[in-house]
Structure 1
Amino acid sequence: MWKPDRDSKKPLYEQIADHLEQRIAFGEFPPGSRLPSERRLAEQLGVNRSTVILAFGELRALGIIESRAGSGTRVSTSKWEAAPNHAPNWRRYAEGGGFLPNPPFMRKIRESLARHPELIDFASGELSADLAPTEEIAALMSEHRYASYLGYDNPQGYIPLRQALVSYLERHRGIRATESSILVTSGSQQSLFLITQCLLSPGDAVAIEDPSYCYSLPMFQSAGLRLFRLPVDECGIRPEDIRALYKKHRIKMVFTNPNYQNPTGTVLSPERRKQLFEVASELGLPIVEDDPFGLTSFEPNVPAPLKSFDANGSVLYIGSFSKIAASGLRIGWMVAPNAIVERLADARQQMDFGLSVIPQQVVAQFMESPYFMPHLERLRMQLQFKRDLLIDALRRELPGQVAFAVPRGGLHLWCKLLREVHDGKLLEEAIRAGVVFVPGGVYGSDSGFVRFTYARPCAEDIGTGIARFAEALREATARTPGGQTSPR
């Protein structure tokens, strides 16, 4: 993001005025569009509000912008008294369309992190840089020559990567697949997007977990799907609830994350896995299994995916490289019947003609290299270490104020706050204190739940981050003006 040069001889307000004029001239702010408020722009640029007021004054004097009470500051539709040309109403376009924006809380978190990268980040669901196999991948790239051909690749995915995934899935996840049954995607979200757009129709009813990461993805609502919830307890979803939803709403698909579920961290119990297959078989329902965290287990017995017990071909299995190595390589995969793979590969070709071949080559080499298993063991140890730091910090800073189950794998800790608090106010106070998290409402839960991602912050920042969160919680639940504490 552009910032004024404090070492320049040109005054800050003139630099800001010139910068805004250039953005207006380039069409970023068309005639009639509203500019950011003085307060927000001052915060973004790291200057006093009075400096922005002076910059706006310069542009107003030139006739470039105009301000009206109640409608903010807008780009002038006419200049030097010339008749205005009609420009598209871009605001109407931006607010239209069938694809919905991210939830407000998620947009606020991302905007805050972009403006203040120094925030301690318990919100982003990815690995920190120190957990990624950066040195190993650099070594592989120096040892191998990549991308002898830089044209479009197979829309189903780079064939050597699919061959490597066949071995990986059988060795580490107990899944028997062929290269023709695998579709390479840019990650779990693209897999879910393809499923919702290509295999379902507007008005279809689907079942998702409650709370669920799926609830935070507007792609389901954008596809016109009707969402029905499957409550998650300490043993996962209750398969009998699926039968009830099918009877009442004729659901067409079940979405589940059975291993270290996001956000709760629960693992679907063996008994309920058996019941889930029985119900799905009885009703002829497909199961979409999202399994990004299975190999992050902190215990010797890694939970097996549903797909490894799938005798009838009922499960569409989704995996990802992001949660076990590096999200920036953007590699995920889906195991599905050949007809489904061909259908989704055709859709992928319409979208982007397939992924870049270079990251696919890197991941194929890494999965079959001697670096992979040592990295995985180190990742598990470091994630468990960070989890324990987070739990110790919560018990130290918020004794008796939070409740949680200790996760046995995954990246997240799901907490219930034992004091009543407004999600929005708590997030505002946390950002002010220098820390971000995800309110539970993003995942469909009631107010008073939070998700902390312990994989993202550095180990040395975890204690400080929870201390800041505790401070924010105290501020958010402070005494009301009448002198009474907020009711529970």
Structure 2
Amino acid sequence: MKQSKYKQVMNLITAKITGGEWTIGSQIPSQRELAKLFQVNRSTIITAIEELKADGLLVSHVGKGTIVANNTWSLMKVDKPINWSGNITLGMHKESMKTVKMINELEAKEELIQLGKSELSPDLFPKAAFQNIVQNVSSTFYSLGYEEPKGNLKLRETICHQLKSKGIQASPSSVLIVSGALQALQLISIGLLNKGSTVYVERPSYVLSLSIFQSGGMKLATIPADLEGPIPKGMKDLHNTKAHSVLYTIPTFHNPTGYVMSERRREHLMQLCEDEQIPIIEDDVYGDLWIDEKPPKPLKASDTYGNVLYVGSLSKTLAPGLRIGWVVGPESVIDRLADLKMQTDYGSSSLSQHVAAEWLKSENYELHLAKVRQELKVRRDMTLNALSKHLSTVAEWEVPKGGFFIWLKFLPPIQNKHLFEKALTAGILINPGNIYDKHSTQYIRLSYGFAAYEEIEAGIRKLGEMLKNI
């Protein structure tokens, strides 16, 4: 005899609880999420939950949702069961914002129009050229052992050669290969900063959506910025010479605003940081994605004192799945970070490093970049046209000169959370501005790098329709 649907759902929920996927003390998904997960209507979910509450497996609390109270094994025991969920808040590293966690999960949903994703479209992946490189690399392998602490020497040499075109002189011993730019920031935070350090960041900033520095007990101090970049005087006014501090900046095609720091501003900022002895973390992962003209040279190019730690990556120009990035800095600092990386993961993927080295030194690299820049120009201009058509009366924006992003400001008062949820209901995933700065409630970060042409047009049209009703 076939079980009723609510009984089937009860069994599925019970299996997740007894299997340890949903532990005692943890909150189960909402009724709407469960209905979608088990492909039933909400009334079926409600019936199943009420039965499980009667059995003692679940309990509901106002404002906390439905919580796992027991599992079938703990119900048969007299002793209190071990509760891993109680340890969730004990770790040193803070959890992501709720919205950021949702975005991370929803970016994998192919049915959504991805208007916030910081990634190149799969259509721009150079499949044939990349397959040839992978085949060539694999044919020369005898084993896949660990690399040197600083990473594959051939890759570091190739990166040094590439950096010369940006005006950066570096030797392989001053380069550390990391698993993406994010790991570089993690290593810097645990290896070079201490509790109570002040990290200056532009407002808004990508790093404000993360908890890397705060988890280490560091303080974030936001400095005002304009279309030329962070305002040096704003940082000088905040700076306390008694406190250890560092500046984190994305000077070229900034995330989320898309601005490019002017050459004059770069000079002023470098001079201020030298005078005040403030080290700089320069995040240049978007630097090669210029559209209209080459941007000014990186801050690192004018660094004569070893004051700048330069971070680069292949995640934005090729593929995030390679997990290949690099940090360039003084040898003593790179030695320290390399030791920490060995303690953390004993080195980035050997295969990825060999592939990255072959990719960067081949002519395919420059050919690919030229194609990407051309495509980004088409995508940017098409997005700007759609914005002018559907949002010109309710929003304003600057024209980006490269990268993926348009920092879109809505003119009528809106609630970021309300717009985010309403857009999601309409099948559109956006990045609300308040994840980059709590004050940026009138903004969203719009990306033209990932979604298909027709999706960008449709998504912006739908946003325009929504704003008329908010």
Tell me the alpha carbon deviations over residues 224-276 of structure 1, each in whole angstroms, 9 at most, x when there is no partner: 11111121101111222232222477452111111111111111111111111
Query: Given the alignment, which residue of 14, 21, 25 partners 1:21?
Result: 14
Cα deviation, 1:271-305, whole Å, max 9, x if unaligned, reads: 11111121122122211110011111112434311
SS in 1 for 2:363: coil
Select 2:457's aligned residue among 456, 463, 471.
463
**2:89 matched residue in structure 1:** 95
CA contact (8 A) 1:313 1:337 kept: yes
Question: Are residues 1:180 and 2:173 paired?
Answer: yes
1:398 and 2:395 equivalent? no
SS of corresponding position for 1:371: helix
**Structure 2: runs of 5 or more not aligned:** none
CA contact (8 A) 2:204 2:440 kept: no
Give the counterpart letter for 1:380 in structure 2: R
The superposition leaves residues 106-125 of structure 1 with CA deviations (integer Å, 9 ceiling, x where unpaired) of: 122234445x5311011221
Q: Which runs of 5+ in 1 are unaligned?
A: 1-7, 478-488
1:43-78 CA deviation, whole Å, 9 max, x = no partner?
3333201232344466567x4624457463534367
Structure 2 residue 103 is matched with structure 1 residue 134: no
The structure 2 residue matched to 1:65, chosen from 39, 53, 57, is: 57
Matches within 5 A, 1:109-188: 109-114=103-108, 116-144=109-137, 145=139, 147-171=141-165, 173-188=166-181
1:49 matched residue in structure 2: 42
Aligned-pair identity (%): 35
Q: Is the 8 A contact 1:413 1:452 kept in 2?
A: yes
In 1: Cα distance, 2:397 partner to 2:206 partner:
18
- Which of residues 257, 269, 273 is equivalent to 1:264? 257
Deviation at 1:420, TM superposition (A): 0.5
CA drift of 1:104 comes to: 1.8
Deviations 1:402-447 (A, max 9, x none): 1111000011110111110011111011101111111111111431
Pick from 225, 231, 248: which aligns with 1:232?
Answer: 225
Q: Distance in 2 between matches of 1:121 and 1:39?
A: 22
Match of residue 385 from structure 1: 378
Code of the aligned partner of 1:411:
F
Partner SS for 1:101: coil
Amino acid at match of 2:31: E
What does the per-residue CA deviation read over 1:68-104, in whole Å, with 9 as the maximum and x for residues that have no partner? Answer: 5746353436779744332233332113311011112
Shift of 1:24: 2.0
TM-score, normalised via structure 1 length: 0.90
Tell me which residue corresponds to 1:473. 467
Q: In structure 1, give the amino acid aligned to 2:254.
A: Q
**Larger mean Cα displacement after TM superposition, 205-214 or 27-36:** 27-36
Summarize the Cα distance change of 1:418–1:64 in structure 2 as closer, same or farther, 3 Å threshold. same
Report the Cα distance in structure 2 between the residues aligned to 1:405 and 1:37, rounded to whole angstroms.
39
- The residue type equivalent to 1:151 in the other structure is G
> Matched residues in 2 for 1:81 and 1:415: separation?
53
Q: Distance in 1 between matches of 2:274 and 2:170?
A: 21
Residue equivalent to 1:253: 246
Report the counterpart of residue 357 of structure 1 in structure 2: 350
CA distance in 1, matches of 2:59, 2:245: 52
In 1, Cα distance between equivalents of 2:343 and 2:319: 26
For the Cα contact (< 8 Å) 1:187–1:330, is it kept in 2?
Answer: yes
Larger CA deviation: 44-53 vs 343-352: 44-53
Q: How many residues align?
A: 466
Q: Tell me the SS of whatever aligns to 1:87.
A: coil
Please tell me whether the aligned partners of residues 133 and 326 of structure 1 are also in contact (alpha carbons under 8 angstroms). no
What residue is the counterpart of 1:86 in the other structure?
Answer: 80
Q: Which moved more, 1:131-140 or 1:226-235?
A: 131-140
Could you report, residue by residue, the CA deviation over 1:140-182 in whole angstroms, capped at 9, with x for unpaired residues? 12233254222222221111111111111113x2211111000
TM-score by length of 2: 0.93
State the Cα distance separating 1:341 from its structure 2 match: 0.6
SS at match of 1:451: strand
**Cα RMSD (Å):** 2.3
Quote the Cα distance in structure 1 between the aligned partners of 2:71 and 2:367. Answer: 62
Preserved CA contact (<8 Å) 1:78 1:84: no
| Local SS of the residue matching 1:47 | coil
Whichever residue aligns with residue 349 of structure 2, its letter is S
Going from structure 1 to structure 2, the CA distance change for 1:32 and 1:246 (only over 3 Å counts) comes to closer
User: Cα gap change, 1:81/1:212 in structure 2, threshold over 3 Å: closer, same or farther?
Assistant: closer
Report if the CA contact (8 A) 1:29-1:75 is conserved.
Answer: no
**Is the contact made by 1:257 and 1:289 (CA closer than 8 Å) also made in structure 2?**
yes
Q: Distance in 2 between matches of 1:328 and 1:106?
A: 20
How far the C-alpha of 1:388 sits from its partner, in A, is: 1.1
